[in-house]
Homo-oligomer: A and B are copies of this chain.
Amino acid sequence: MVIKTSQLANVKSTVHFSCISKSNQYRSHLPLKPTTVRMSMTQTHHTHPYWASLQADIEAHLKQSITIKEPLVVFEPMHHLVFNAPKTTVPALCLAACELVGGQRNQAISAASALLLMEAATYTHEHLLLSDRPKPKPVITHAYGPNVELLTGDGIVPFGFELLARSNGGENSERILRVMVEISRAVGSGGVIDAQYRKTMDSGSDGDEMCHVEGIRRVVEKYEGELHACGAVCGGVLGGGSEEEIERLRNYGFYVGMIQGMLQRGFKDDNKEVEETRKFALHELQFFKDREVDAISTFLNI
């Protein structure tokens, strides 16, 4: 159920960042070009109609689930932050993976919504004003003070788990628990939190993030890589995929996330490393040759 380092090591070993490919003597502190590293989720251009359709379904599901009700002081900020935090491709990939293995979109809609909630909470806390880290540069304006943002993030996470736990129709509980373990690990101390710690350690005191190459590799893997891997696995599990299909989806998701991470850090779409990673991803999709892969393969070009 978890990414085995040994498993991924084989396929990941040929993915290099351009800034470390020239010489090992620069491995430790070489600035990553063409931009400094920004780890926050950024608003990317998800214009593909398939992504847009999946995303619209997830947001519709969440709008039904998060009504603005009493206590307003709790639910208004939650509503605001969930629907205004920058979107990623993780939740939609969950639905796409579900459909790829023959499942119905609605079988994975709660997991996709939970993933969106987790990312909104992460975004909120990542941009919280704290005294001992660089001032964050949020994509959306701070509409609330730090205390409300802290509590809102803290409230969103259990709500995500609740939404998922409640989605059990009675026959599906084993799969839901499996998905919960996947999500917990991806967003927890061995995943996103680990990446966030590393971001802090690698940050310059003036707010610009320096490129410690190994640190960046780790951040992209743990952040966009494992989150997308998790999204794809959750969809595969809930859609009833076989174990082999689920593991192929994990790898595919990981590569999609690596590409996203690289593009968000300023790599061009035709960058050699991006193109190589795309090839690895397509290789994983070949396993699904008897399935309809056109839809999910659009995630490589978002």
Q: Chain A interface (Cβ within 8 Å of chain B)?
A: 71, 73-75, 78, 121-122, 125, 128-133, 145-148, 150-151, 153-159, 161-162, 165-166, 168, 170, 173-174, 176-178, 180-181, 183-185, 187-190, 193-194, 196-198, 200-201
Contact = CB atoms under 8 A, between A and B. Distances in A.
Contacts of A184: 158-159, 161-162, 165
A173 B177 contact: yes
A201 B146 CA distance: 14
A162 B188 contact: yes
Contacts of A122: 154
A71 B129 contact: no
B188 A158 contact: yes
Contacts of A173: 173-174, 176-177
Contacts of A174: 168, 170, 173
A89 to B, nearest CB: 21
A83 to B, nearest CB: 15
Q: How many copies of the polypeptide does the oligomer hold? A: 2
A168 B177 contact: yes
B181 A166 contact: yes
Q: Which of A129, A132, A200 has the most CB of B within 10 A?
A: A132
Q: Which of A150, A161, A183 has the most CB of B within 10 A?
A: A161
A162 B185 contact: yes
Contact of A180 (B74, B121, B161, B178): B161
Given A125-B154, A130-B146, A130-B150, A159 B189 contact: yes
Given A174-B168, A185-B162, A193 B155 contact: yes
A156 B197 CA distance: 14
A150 B157 CA distance: 14
A158 B78 CA distance: 19
A200 B125 CA distance: 18
Contacts of A158: 157, 183-185, 187-189
Given A121-B154, A156-B189, A158-B189, 8 more contacts: A71-B194, A74-B193, A154-B193, A157-B158, A158-B185, A162-B188, A165-B180, A165-B181
A196 B147 CA distance: 10
Contacts of A200: 147, 151
A265 B217 CA distance: 50
Contacts of A128: 130, 150
A174 B176 CA distance: 10
22 contacts: A71-B198, A74-B189, A125-B150, A128-B150, A130-B147, A130-B150, A131-B131, A151-B193, A153-B154, A156-B189, A157-B158, A158-B183, A158-B184, A158-B185, A158-B189, A159-B184, A162-B188, A165-B180, A166-B177, A173-B173, A173-B174, A173-B176
A197 B130 CA distance: 19
Nearest to A133: B147
Nearest to A183: B158
